[in-house]
Chains A and B, each alone.
Chain A
Protein backbone atom coordinates (compact mmCIF):
# COMPACT_ATOMS: atom_id res chain seq x y z
CA UNK A 1 0.00 0.00 0.00
CA UNK A 2 1.39 3.38 -0.88
CA UNK A 3 1.01 6.35 1.41
CA UNK A 4 0.46 8.74 -1.43
CA UNK A 5 -0.40 8.09 -5.02
CA UNK A 6 -0.69 10.89 -7.54
CA UNK A 7 -2.06 9.62 -10.83
CA UNK A 8 -1.78 11.68 -14.02
CA UNK A 9 -2.67 14.94 -12.38
CA UNK A 10 -3.11 18.19 -14.30
CA UNK A 11 -3.66 21.72 -13.02
CA UNK A 12 -3.76 24.99 -14.96
CA UNK A 13 -4.24 28.57 -13.83
CA UNK A 14 -5.53 30.87 -16.54
CA UNK A 15 -2.93 30.20 -19.25
CA UNK A 16 -0.18 28.70 -17.04
CA UNK A 17 0.15 24.92 -16.93
CA UNK A 18 1.27 24.59 -13.31
CA UNK A 19 1.27 20.80 -13.20
CA UNK A 20 1.12 18.46 -16.19
CA UNK A 21 0.66 14.72 -16.15
CA UNK A 22 2.32 14.24 -12.78
CA UNK A 23 2.45 10.72 -11.40
CA UNK A 24 4.02 9.85 -8.07
CA UNK A 25 3.94 6.81 -5.86
CA UNK A 26 5.22 7.03 -2.30
CA UNK A 27 5.85 3.92 -0.24
CA UNK A 28 5.23 4.24 3.46
CA UNK A 29 8.16 5.12 5.71
CA UNK A 30 10.35 6.92 3.23
CA UNK A 31 11.66 10.44 3.00
CA UNK A 32 10.80 11.82 -0.39
CA UNK A 33 12.38 14.90 -1.94
CA UNK A 34 10.22 17.06 -4.15
CA UNK A 35 12.69 19.21 -6.04
CA UNK A 36 12.54 21.79 -8.73
CA UNK A 37 13.37 25.37 -9.57
CA UNK A 38 11.16 28.26 -8.52
CA UNK A 39 7.78 28.14 -10.21
CA UNK A 40 8.18 24.50 -11.24
CA UNK A 41 4.87 23.49 -9.65
CA UNK A 42 6.00 22.18 -6.26
CA UNK A 43 3.70 24.33 -4.18
CA UNK A 44 0.78 23.65 -6.51
CA UNK A 45 1.43 19.91 -6.15
CA UNK A 46 1.60 20.19 -2.37
CA UNK A 47 -1.56 22.28 -2.25
CA UNK A 48 -3.35 19.66 -4.31
CA UNK A 49 -2.17 16.96 -1.92
CA UNK A 50 -3.50 19.12 0.92
CA UNK A 51 -6.83 19.47 -0.89
CA UNK A 52 -6.48 23.26 -0.80
CA UNK A 53 -6.79 23.34 -4.57
CA UNK A 54 -8.49 20.75 -6.72
CA UNK A 55 -6.79 19.16 -9.77
CA UNK A 56 -8.31 19.76 -13.19
CA UNK A 57 -7.72 16.12 -14.08
CA UNK A 58 -6.31 13.04 -12.39
CA UNK A 59 -6.58 11.39 -9.01
CA UNK A 60 -4.78 11.84 -5.72
CA UNK A 61 -5.06 8.98 -3.25
CA UNK A 62 -3.82 9.20 0.31
CA UNK A 63 -3.54 5.82 2.03
CA UNK A 64 -5.64 4.45 -0.79
CA UNK A 65 -8.50 6.82 -0.06
CA UNK A 66 -9.55 9.76 -2.13
CA UNK A 67 -8.69 13.05 -0.57
CA UNK A 68 -11.17 14.05 2.08
CA UNK A 69 -11.61 16.00 5.24
CA UNK A 70 -10.84 12.96 7.32
CA UNK A 71 -7.61 12.30 5.40
CA UNK A 72 -6.50 15.86 5.99
CA UNK A 73 -6.26 15.24 9.70
CA UNK A 74 -3.67 12.53 9.07
CA UNK A 75 -1.35 14.90 7.22
CA UNK A 76 1.02 17.41 8.76
CA UNK A 77 1.85 20.41 6.61
CA UNK A 78 4.56 23.02 7.06
CA UNK A 79 3.99 25.65 4.37
CA UNK A 80 6.85 27.60 2.89
CA UNK A 81 5.26 30.88 3.93
CA UNK A 82 5.13 30.53 7.69
CA UNK A 83 2.55 32.28 9.75
CA UNK A 84 1.13 32.04 13.24
CA UNK A 85 -1.38 34.17 15.12
CA UNK A 86 0.94 36.82 16.55
CA UNK A 87 -1.13 37.64 19.61
CA UNK A 88 -1.68 34.07 20.75
CA UNK A 89 0.28 32.36 23.47
CA UNK A 90 2.49 29.43 22.46
CA UNK A 91 0.51 26.84 24.35
CA UNK A 92 -2.83 28.13 23.06
CA UNK A 93 -1.82 28.24 19.43
CA UNK A 94 -0.37 24.71 19.53
CA UNK A 95 -3.49 23.44 21.22
CA UNK A 96 -5.67 25.25 18.65
CA UNK A 97 -3.77 23.90 15.65
CA UNK A 98 -3.89 20.38 17.11
CA UNK A 99 -7.63 20.74 17.62
CA UNK A 100 -7.96 21.83 13.99
CA UNK A 101 -6.47 18.45 13.16
CA UNK A 102 -9.07 16.74 15.29
CA UNK A 103 -7.01 16.29 18.46
CA UNK A 104 -8.83 16.98 21.71
CA UNK A 105 -7.12 19.57 23.97
CA UNK A 106 -6.94 17.08 26.83
CA UNK A 107 -4.90 14.72 24.65
CA UNK A 108 -2.69 17.32 23.00
CA UNK A 109 -1.53 18.73 26.34
CA UNK A 110 1.11 16.09 27.06
CA UNK A 111 2.35 16.17 23.48
CA UNK A 112 2.78 19.93 23.55
CA UNK A 113 4.79 19.68 26.76
CA UNK A 114 6.90 16.88 25.35
CA UNK A 115 7.81 18.71 22.15
CA UNK A 116 8.43 22.07 23.82
CA UNK A 117 10.77 20.28 26.21
CA UNK A 118 12.49 18.57 23.30
CA UNK A 119 13.00 21.86 21.46
CA UNK A 120 14.06 23.64 24.67
CA UNK A 121 11.14 26.04 24.46
CA UNK A 122 9.42 25.27 27.78
CA UNK A 123 10.26 28.70 29.19
CA UNK A 124 8.27 30.30 26.40
CA UNK A 125 5.06 28.33 26.84
CA UNK A 126 3.10 31.34 28.12
CA UNK A 127 4.70 33.91 25.85
CA UNK A 128 3.00 35.36 22.82
CA UNK A 129 4.15 34.38 19.34
CA UNK A 130 5.19 37.96 18.56
CA UNK A 131 7.69 37.89 21.45
CA UNK A 132 9.62 35.05 19.82
CA UNK A 133 12.51 35.32 17.39
CA UNK A 134 11.98 34.09 13.85
CA UNK A 135 13.92 30.92 14.47
CA UNK A 136 11.82 30.16 17.54
CA UNK A 137 8.61 30.79 15.63
CA UNK A 138 9.94 28.36 13.05
CA UNK A 139 10.38 25.69 15.70
CA UNK A 140 6.86 26.30 17.02
CA UNK A 141 5.49 25.96 13.50
CA UNK A 142 7.41 22.73 13.06
CA UNK A 143 6.00 21.37 16.33
CA UNK A 144 2.48 22.27 15.18
CA UNK A 145 3.09 20.25 12.00
CA UNK A 146 3.94 17.00 13.78
CA UNK A 147 1.93 17.40 17.00
CA UNK A 148 -1.03 15.32 15.86
CA UNK A 149 1.26 12.44 14.83
CA UNK A 150 0.48 12.52 11.13
CA UNK A 151 1.20 9.56 8.91
CA UNK A 152 2.16 11.84 6.05
CA UNK A 153 4.30 14.91 6.75
CA UNK A 154 4.86 17.58 4.12
CA UNK A 155 7.68 20.02 4.80
CA UNK A 156 8.17 22.93 2.44
CA UNK A 157 11.70 24.29 2.97
CA UNK A 158 11.86 23.29 6.64
CA UNK A 159 15.39 24.56 7.33
CA UNK A 160 15.27 28.15 6.10
CA UNK A 161 16.13 30.59 8.84
CA UNK A 162 17.44 28.00 11.29
CA UNK A 163 20.88 27.93 12.89
CA UNK A 164 23.02 24.75 12.52
CA UNK A 165 22.09 23.48 16.01
CA UNK A 166 18.37 23.68 15.31
CA UNK A 167 18.81 22.36 11.78
CA UNK A 168 20.41 19.24 13.24
CA UNK A 169 17.70 18.98 15.88
CA UNK A 170 14.95 19.06 13.28
CA UNK A 171 16.88 16.63 11.08
CA UNK A 172 17.07 14.20 14.01
CA UNK A 173 13.37 14.54 14.63
CA UNK A 174 12.60 13.91 10.96
CA UNK A 175 14.69 10.72 10.95
CA UNK A 176 13.04 9.65 14.20
CA UNK A 177 9.58 10.17 12.72
CA UNK A 178 10.60 8.12 9.70
CA UNK A 179 11.72 5.35 12.04
CA UNK A 180 8.28 5.41 13.62
CA UNK A 181 6.74 4.84 10.20
CA UNK A 182 5.78 8.29 8.99
CA UNK A 183 6.20 9.19 5.33
CA UNK A 184 7.85 12.54 4.80
CA UNK A 185 7.77 14.76 1.73
CA UNK A 186 10.44 17.40 1.51
CA UNK A 187 10.38 20.33 -0.80
CA UNK A 188 13.64 22.19 -0.90
CA UNK A 189 16.37 23.84 -2.93
CA UNK A 190 19.14 22.70 -0.61
CA UNK A 191 20.52 19.67 -2.41
CA UNK A 192 22.99 18.62 0.28
CA UNK A 193 20.07 18.24 2.72
CA UNK A 194 18.27 16.08 0.18
CA UNK A 195 21.34 13.92 -0.34
CA UNK A 196 21.67 13.34 3.40
CA UNK A 197 18.01 12.67 4.14
CA UNK A 198 16.03 11.52 1.14
CA UNK A 199 15.42 7.97 -0.02
CA UNK A 200 13.66 8.98 -3.21
CA UNK A 201 13.29 12.15 -5.19
CA UNK A 202 11.25 13.69 -7.92
CA UNK A 203 12.56 16.64 -9.87
CA UNK A 204 9.83 18.78 -11.37
CA UNK A 205 10.40 21.36 -14.04
CA UNK A 206 7.75 23.44 -15.78
CA UNK A 207 5.05 21.31 -14.25
CA UNK A 208 6.42 17.96 -15.39
CA UNK A 209 8.41 15.28 -13.60
CA UNK A 210 11.77 15.17 -15.34
CA UNK A 211 13.71 12.88 -13.03
CA UNK A 212 12.42 10.54 -10.39
CA UNK A 213 13.06 7.44 -8.38
CA UNK A 214 15.35 6.05 -5.74
CA UNK A 215 18.18 8.48 -5.02
CA UNK A 216 20.92 5.90 -5.69
CA UNK A 217 19.35 4.86 -8.97
CA UNK A 218 18.91 8.43 -10.05
CA UNK A 219 22.60 9.04 -9.56
CA UNK A 220 23.60 5.79 -11.23
CA UNK A 221 21.34 6.43 -14.18
CA UNK A 222 22.60 9.93 -14.62
CA UNK A 223 25.66 8.37 -16.31
CA UNK A 224 27.86 11.34 -16.11
CA UNK A 225 30.77 10.93 -13.80
CA UNK A 226 33.50 13.42 -13.08
CA UNK A 227 37.17 12.86 -12.43
CA UNK A 228 38.76 14.08 -9.22
CA UNK A 229 42.52 14.48 -9.41
CA UNK A 230 45.14 15.49 -6.89
CA UNK A 231 48.48 16.60 -8.24
CA UNK A 232 51.60 16.09 -6.19
CA UNK A 233 52.94 19.65 -6.40
CA UNK A 234 51.95 22.13 -9.04
CA UNK A 235 48.72 22.13 -10.89
CA UNK A 236 49.58 22.12 -14.58
CA UNK A 237 47.81 24.17 -17.21
CA UNK A 238 44.73 22.17 -18.14
CA UNK A 239 43.12 24.62 -20.49
CA UNK A 240 42.85 23.86 -24.17
CA UNK A 241 42.44 20.11 -23.71
CA UNK A 242 39.69 19.11 -26.13
CA UNK A 243 38.41 16.21 -24.09
CA UNK A 244 37.72 18.32 -20.98
CA UNK A 245 34.48 20.20 -20.75
CA UNK A 246 35.03 22.11 -17.52
CA UNK A 247 37.30 22.28 -14.49
CA UNK A 248 36.39 23.12 -10.91
CA UNK A 249 38.69 23.49 -7.92
CA UNK A 250 37.38 21.77 -4.82
CA UNK A 251 39.70 22.16 -1.79
CA UNK A 252 42.93 20.59 -3.00
CA UNK A 253 41.18 18.42 -5.54
CA UNK A 254 40.60 19.32 -9.14
CA UNK A 255 37.27 18.12 -10.44
CA UNK A 256 37.13 17.61 -14.17
CA UNK A 257 34.01 17.16 -16.23
CA UNK A 258 34.78 15.21 -19.40
CA UNK A 259 33.18 15.90 -22.71
CA UNK A 260 32.30 12.28 -23.11
CA UNK A 261 32.11 9.51 -20.52
CA UNK A 262 34.15 7.24 -22.81
CA UNK A 263 37.13 9.57 -22.71
CA UNK A 264 37.91 9.26 -19.02
CA UNK A 265 40.83 6.93 -19.53
CA UNK A 266 42.17 9.14 -22.32
CA UNK A 267 42.09 12.16 -20.06
CA UNK A 268 43.98 10.27 -17.38
CA UNK A 269 46.72 9.51 -19.86
CA UNK A 270 47.05 13.17 -20.75
CA UNK A 271 47.15 14.20 -17.12
CA UNK A 272 49.81 11.69 -16.19
CA UNK A 273 52.06 13.20 -18.87
CA UNK A 274 51.62 16.70 -17.49
CA UNK A 275 52.51 16.28 -13.80
CA UNK A 276 52.84 13.66 -11.05
CA UNK A 277 49.46 12.61 -9.68
CA UNK A 278 48.90 11.41 -6.09
CA UNK A 279 45.20 10.69 -6.33
CA UNK A 280 42.72 9.90 -9.05
CA UNK A 281 39.11 8.89 -8.66
CA UNK A 282 35.85 8.80 -10.53
CA UNK A 283 33.16 10.66 -8.59
CA UNK A 284 29.39 10.45 -8.79
CA UNK A 285 27.77 13.71 -9.74
CA UNK A 286 26.29 15.66 -6.84
CA UNK A 287 22.57 16.11 -6.78
CA UNK A 288 23.27 19.80 -7.14
CA UNK A 289 24.88 19.19 -10.52
CA UNK A 290 22.19 16.79 -11.62
CA UNK A 291 19.60 19.39 -10.67
CA UNK A 292 21.26 22.20 -12.60
CA UNK A 293 22.08 20.08 -15.60
CA UNK A 294 18.64 18.55 -15.89
CA UNK A 295 16.83 21.84 -15.45
CA UNK A 296 18.99 23.80 -17.90
CA UNK A 297 18.90 20.97 -20.46
CA UNK A 298 15.14 20.89 -20.35
CA UNK A 299 14.98 24.64 -20.72
CA UNK A 300 17.29 24.48 -23.76
CA UNK A 301 15.28 21.58 -25.16
CA UNK A 302 12.16 23.60 -24.70
CA UNK A 303 13.59 26.42 -26.75
CA UNK A 304 14.46 24.15 -29.66
CA UNK A 305 10.95 22.83 -29.97
Chain B
Protein backbone atom coordinates (compact mmCIF):
# COMPACT_ATOMS: atom_id res chain seq x y z
CA UNK B 1 0.00 0.00 0.00
CA UNK B 2 3.04 2.25 -0.04
CA UNK B 3 6.47 2.19 -1.58
CA UNK B 4 8.59 -0.52 -0.06
CA UNK B 5 11.73 0.60 1.69
CA UNK B 6 13.98 -2.28 0.55
CA UNK B 7 16.32 -1.99 3.52
CA UNK B 8 13.53 -2.23 6.10
CA UNK B 9 11.27 -4.54 4.12
CA UNK B 10 9.83 -7.51 5.94
CA UNK B 11 10.58 -10.92 4.41
CA UNK B 12 7.51 -13.10 4.58
CA UNK B 13 8.08 -16.81 5.22
CA UNK B 14 7.98 -19.09 2.16
CA UNK B 15 4.64 -20.53 3.34
CA UNK B 16 2.98 -17.22 2.38
CA UNK B 17 2.39 -15.65 -1.03
CA UNK B 18 4.97 -12.94 -0.47
CA UNK B 19 4.56 -11.29 -3.88
CA UNK B 20 0.87 -10.70 -3.28
CA UNK B 21 1.43 -9.56 0.31
CA UNK B 22 4.02 -7.00 -0.80
CA UNK B 23 1.53 -5.70 -3.31
CA UNK B 24 -1.26 -5.64 -0.73
CA UNK B 25 0.63 -4.11 2.20
CA UNK B 26 3.69 -2.53 0.62
CA UNK B 27 5.86 -1.55 3.54
CA UNK B 28 2.92 -1.12 5.88
CA UNK B 29 3.90 -3.74 8.44
CA UNK B 30 1.57 -2.32 11.10
CA UNK B 31 -1.45 -2.92 8.89
CA UNK B 32 -0.17 -6.41 8.18
CA UNK B 33 0.03 -7.12 11.93
CA UNK B 34 -3.51 -5.81 12.36
CA UNK B 35 -4.91 -7.99 9.55
CA UNK B 36 -2.97 -11.10 10.60
CA UNK B 37 -4.17 -10.68 14.19
CA UNK B 38 -7.78 -10.02 13.14
CA UNK B 39 -7.70 -13.05 10.86
CA UNK B 40 -6.35 -15.29 13.60
CA UNK B 41 -8.97 -14.13 16.10
CA UNK B 42 -11.91 -14.18 13.73
CA UNK B 43 -11.17 -17.61 12.25
CA UNK B 44 -10.87 -19.07 15.76
CA UNK B 45 -14.19 -17.49 16.71
CA UNK B 46 -15.95 -18.72 13.56
CA UNK B 47 -14.64 -22.26 13.98
CA UNK B 48 -16.50 -22.51 17.30
CA UNK B 49 -19.68 -21.56 15.46
CA UNK B 50 -18.91 -24.03 12.68
CA UNK B 51 -18.54 -26.87 15.19
CA UNK B 52 -21.94 -26.03 16.61
CA UNK B 53 -23.59 -25.99 13.15
CA UNK B 54 -21.91 -29.24 12.21
CA UNK B 55 -23.24 -30.84 15.40
CA UNK B 56 -26.71 -29.59 14.52
CA UNK B 57 -26.36 -30.93 10.98
CA UNK B 58 -27.04 -27.46 9.54
CA UNK B 59 -24.94 -27.58 6.35
CA UNK B 60 -26.33 -24.27 5.02
CA UNK B 61 -25.18 -22.40 8.12
CA UNK B 62 -21.90 -24.30 8.02
CA UNK B 63 -21.32 -23.19 4.43
CA UNK B 64 -21.93 -19.57 5.42
CA UNK B 65 -19.29 -19.71 8.14
CA UNK B 66 -16.64 -21.06 5.76
CA UNK B 67 -17.70 -18.61 3.07
CA UNK B 68 -17.10 -15.79 5.53
CA UNK B 69 -13.65 -16.87 6.67
CA UNK B 70 -12.48 -17.89 3.18
CA UNK B 71 -11.17 -14.48 1.98
CA UNK B 72 -9.36 -13.96 5.27
CA UNK B 73 -6.81 -16.54 4.16
CA UNK B 74 -6.32 -14.53 1.01
CA UNK B 75 -5.58 -11.38 3.02
CA UNK B 76 -2.75 -13.23 4.79
CA UNK B 77 -1.35 -14.75 1.60
CA UNK B 78 -2.49 -18.34 2.15
CA UNK B 79 -4.10 -18.80 -1.26
CA UNK B 80 -4.02 -22.59 -1.10
CA UNK B 81 -6.05 -22.57 2.12
CA UNK B 82 -8.50 -20.13 0.57
CA UNK B 83 -8.97 -22.53 -2.37
CA UNK B 84 -9.45 -25.50 -0.06
CA UNK B 85 -12.08 -23.63 1.95
CA UNK B 86 -13.84 -22.88 -1.33
CA UNK B 87 -13.88 -26.60 -2.10
CA UNK B 88 -15.33 -27.35 1.31
CA UNK B 89 -17.96 -24.66 0.76
CA UNK B 90 -18.95 -26.41 -2.48
CA UNK B 91 -19.12 -29.73 -0.64
CA UNK B 92 -21.46 -28.18 1.95
CA UNK B 93 -23.72 -27.03 -0.86
CA UNK B 94 -24.03 -30.54 -2.28
CA UNK B 95 -24.33 -32.38 1.04
CA UNK B 96 -27.73 -33.60 2.15
CA UNK B 97 -26.55 -34.35 5.67
CA UNK B 98 -23.58 -33.16 7.69
CA UNK B 99 -22.41 -36.77 7.98
CA UNK B 100 -21.89 -36.78 4.18
CA UNK B 101 -19.05 -34.33 4.63
CA UNK B 102 -17.58 -35.60 7.87
CA UNK B 103 -14.24 -36.46 6.23
CA UNK B 104 -13.95 -33.14 4.37
CA UNK B 105 -14.94 -31.28 7.54
CA UNK B 106 -12.16 -32.93 9.54
CA UNK B 107 -9.65 -32.36 6.75
CA UNK B 108 -10.43 -28.66 6.29
CA UNK B 109 -10.26 -28.07 10.02
CA UNK B 110 -6.88 -29.74 10.22
CA UNK B 111 -5.68 -27.54 7.37
CA UNK B 112 -7.07 -24.43 9.03
CA UNK B 113 -5.53 -25.34 12.38
CA UNK B 114 -2.16 -25.63 10.67
CA UNK B 115 -2.73 -22.33 8.87
CA UNK B 116 -3.59 -20.61 12.15
CA UNK B 117 -0.30 -21.77 13.62
CA UNK B 118 1.50 -20.31 10.58
CA UNK B 119 -0.42 -17.03 10.95
CA UNK B 120 0.41 -16.80 14.64
CA UNK B 121 4.10 -17.37 14.03
CA UNK B 122 4.16 -14.87 11.18
CA UNK B 123 2.40 -12.28 13.34
CA UNK B 124 5.11 -12.68 15.94
CA UNK B 125 7.76 -12.22 13.26
CA UNK B 126 5.99 -9.11 11.99
CA UNK B 127 5.82 -7.67 15.50
CA UNK B 128 9.47 -8.44 16.10
CA UNK B 129 10.28 -6.64 12.86
CA UNK B 130 8.41 -3.54 14.04
CA UNK B 131 10.15 -3.62 17.42
CA UNK B 132 13.54 -3.95 15.79
CA UNK B 133 12.90 -0.86 13.69
CA UNK B 134 11.55 1.19 16.61
A associates with B: no
Interface residues of A (CB under 8 A from B): none
Q: Which residues of B contact A (CB under 8 A)?
A: none
